[in-house]
Structure 1
Amino acid sequence: MRVFITGANRGLGLELTRQYLERGDQVFAASRQPADAGDLQRLRRQYPERLTLLPLDVTSAESITAAAQAVQAATDGLDVLINNAGVYPHAGSGDAHQRLGQLTHEDAMETMQVNAIGPLLVAQALLPLLRNGSKGRILSISSGQGSLTWKATGDPYHYSASKAAMNMYMRSLAAEIGIYGLISVIVDPGWMRTDMGGDHATQDPADSARGIIRLAEQLHAEENGSFVTWQNQPVPW
């Protein structure tokens, strides 16, 4: 299996990278500053033959193109793309930046670019490689916060809106790529104990990663475009 993971330097992305490597798969792990990602560097020393570290800023067209070219130079196809990179401005700081009265244009634009637009453009750039892969799958990490049905609070405005926007982008993508035998699904990984989720979260990233890897293996064509949890339960739009 050849897997491309964004935001691979910590949290869920790091755990997905570790578990895919432990299974014997080839992993392209992308992050903004791989040279500073100590855990990824340790994994590369452990799995030098199968782990490739790539710099990737999903808000930069040039960076996305360069990452796609680097993968193309190393392999003729990809089997799985996991769009995991995401931001939650001021997460854990106690600041009210995503509450009414404190909303800023800068926070809104950063969140939308990283969480919604970035995953779409990464998928677009890697599409030729996914078409050359074996039953190419795109799993984009969303959140229950992106569900219009479940949304019952104001805060967080930007994060929730960005995940809902990503859901629509990936649903749109699914409608187009199904003819190639490719599958795009949106995944709620649960409330995880990560830098973004905080210490009070209930979910272990290792469990979420394990479920997401299992989900990627078991996807069928009729599930293309679906929004599910890491345990493959439907999430309302």
Structure 2
Amino acid sequence: MRRVLITGANRGLGLELTRQYLERGDTVYAACRNPDAATDLKALGTTRLHLIQLDLTSEDSIAQAQKAVRRHTAALDILINNAGIFPGAGPEDPAKQNLGNLTSDNALTVFKVNAVGPMLVAQAFLELLKAGNKPRIISLSSGQGSLTWKASGEPYHYSASKAALNMYMRALAAEVGTYGLISVLVDPGWIRTGMGGSNAAIPAADSAKGIIRLTDQLHAEENGSFVTWQGQPVPW
């Protein structure tokens, strides 16, 4: 039985990852900003599901989340840095990421959630992971964060934040590998979620299944790699 922490677990891919880990008998620490309002997440309720309040933009919230998890367990086996934002992706979000509408406030908000937050979460939970069984850190990036693949302008902030996440986690991998941890970046694909939209090609269940399978099969030599949810290399 694995002990898994998933950020952004209240919807989309995070919710599906939580569901699938629970279905196979693992214990999940499901983190989101407002657990009280996480109706779909609560509906998965078992004694192996623990809802954790976590706001990636708050260092105090990250510290409190670590304390909350530690009250339940002395070790973690898997951390999935899933939480992220894509301003402008939904019709209810007027924020733009195209040239002519870029602002520093929008940029810093996206970077804080998509790049800095996951790095601080990994840092906060490192000791619990070091005590785990074959511990691994899975950070969900995007093909938009690949410099090689980038062939469009918009979305500027999202793409840049994922490229920054890639560098943070590549650097992290170089250090945590000495503790026996494996840290990889995964492009989950274009998923049919609130962020990806209804025209996306991949059901969330398929991507989640692939990510879980990939996580189970990771080897030490793959530490620091950037791959798709199907395990194919992504160019930096």
TM range (shorter): over 0.9
> In structure 2, what is the Cα distance between the partners aligned to 1:131 and 1:206?
29
SS at match of 2:186: strand
> In structure 2, what is the Cα distance between the partners aligned to 1:181 and 1:25?
21
> In structure 1, what is the Cα distance between the partners aligned to 2:195 and 2:95?
15
Residue-by-residue CA offset, 1:8-59 (whole Å, 9 max, x unaligned): 0000000000000000000000000010011011112xx1x10000110011
Letter in 2 for 1:20: Y
Letter in 1 for 2:136: R
Aligned to 1:110: 109
**Cα deviation, residue 92, structure 1:** 2.5
The answer (yes or no) to whether the contact 2:186–2:229 under 8 Å persists in 1 is: yes
Which residues in structure 2 correspond to 1:139-150 (within 5 Å)? Answer: 139-150=138-149
CA RMSD of aligned residues (A): 0.9
What percent of counterpart residues are identical?
68
SS at match of 1:76: coil
Moved segments of 4+, more than 2 Å: 92-96
Letter in 1 for 2:31: A
Which residues in structure 2 correspond to 1:61-76 (within 5 Å)? Answer: 61-76=59-74
Which residues in structure 2 correspond to 1:28-39 (within 5 Å)? Answer: 28-39=29-40
Aligned to 1:6: 7
Letter in 2 for 1:59: T
The answer on 1:211 being equivalent to 2:206 is no
The answer (yes or no) to whether the contact 2:87–2:95 under 8 Å persists in 1 is: no
Letter in 1 for 2:200: A
> In structure 1, what is the Cα distance between the partners aligned to 2:102 and 2:182?
36
Residue-by-residue CA offset, 1:185-227 (whole Å, 9 max, x unaligned): 0000000000110111001000000000011110000000000
The answer (yes or no) to whether the contact 2:52–2:65 under 8 Å persists in 1 is: yes
> In structure 2, what is the Cα distance between the partners aligned to 1:96 and 1:110?
11
Which residues in structure 2 correspond to 1:107-146 (within 5 Å)? Answer: 107-146=106-145
> In structure 2, what is the Cα distance between the partners aligned to 1:24 and 1:75?
16
Letter in 2 for 1:175: A
Which residues in structure 2 correspond to 1:138-217 (within 5 Å)? Answer: 138-217=137-216
The 1:96–1:31 alpha-carbon spacing in structure 2 relative to 1, beyond 3 Å, is: closer
Q: Comparing both structures, which one devotes a greater share of its residues to helix?
A: 1
The answer on 1:24 being equivalent to 2:50 is no
The answer on 1:228 being equivalent to 2:227 is yes
TM-score, scaled relative to structure 1 = 0.97
Aligned to 2:43: 42
Which has the higher mean CA deviation after the structures are superposed, 114-123 or 96-105? 96-105
> In structure 2, what is the Cα distance between the partners aligned to 1:31 and 1:76?
21
Aligned to 2:56: 58
> In structure 1, what is the Cα distance between the partners aligned to 2:167 and 2:80?
17
TM-score, scaled relative to structure 2 = 0.98
